[in-house]
Amino acid sequence: MGQLTHTIALVGMMGAGKSSIGRRLAARLGVGFHDADSAIENAAGRPISEIFAEYGEAAFRDCERKVIARLLEEPAHVLATGGGAFMSAETRERLKEKTTTVWLRAPVDILFARVKRKGDRPLLHTQNPRETLERLLREREPTYVLADIIIDSEDAPHTHTVEKLMAELTARGVWQP
């Protein structure tokens, strides 16, 4: 059995596949998996959409920072962050210090096709959700590019992306088979 030297943090837009790819990657590595959004919902005892509606985005981001900081104290695992988590300088610095960050990059067409199937994305509750997604991607790309590794999340089975990620993690010595 191999060894993961430290936590892998998946960053990127909603719909990039952070949770589903993260679960598969963790299983492949034989380590734990944490989804920051699920951990926030568990800590708050309510869905993220309700947190946004009742308290606003700033309160959600504060909770997100605290939950991610707590999760980073766990043994090496795979962590799926929320789409906006890496935008926080404090969270980004903490992730860069304690993890290998991976931007799961996907074009807006793939992202929109994935997120439109669900209505649970508070930031997309706008007049034109696709336009909002395009704007968010434009705003966030200059920060996402700061991730340690960039992997394209394509319109293909997630196992394909996991294989590319495994090769990159092995080449960088983060995963030692």
Strand partners, 32: 77
Q: Tell me which H or E stretch contains 4.
A: strand 3-4
* Per-domain residue ranges of the chain: 3-176
pLDDT digits (tens, 9 = 90+) for 102-126: 999 999 988 888 887 665 665 566 6
- 5: closest CA among 152, 174, 163? 174
pLDDT digits (tens, 9 = 90+) for 28-46: 999 999 999 999 999 989 9
Confidence tier at 155 by pLDDT (50, 70, 90):
confident
Q: Which fold does the domain 3-176 belong to in CATH?
A: Rossmann fold (3.40.50)
DSSP 81: P
Cβ-in-10-Å burial (0-12, 13-18, 19+) of 42 comes to exposed
Q: Is 42 helix (H, G, I), strand (E, B) or coil?
A: helix
* Average pLDDT value for residue range 9-37: 95
The pTM is what?
Answer: 0.92
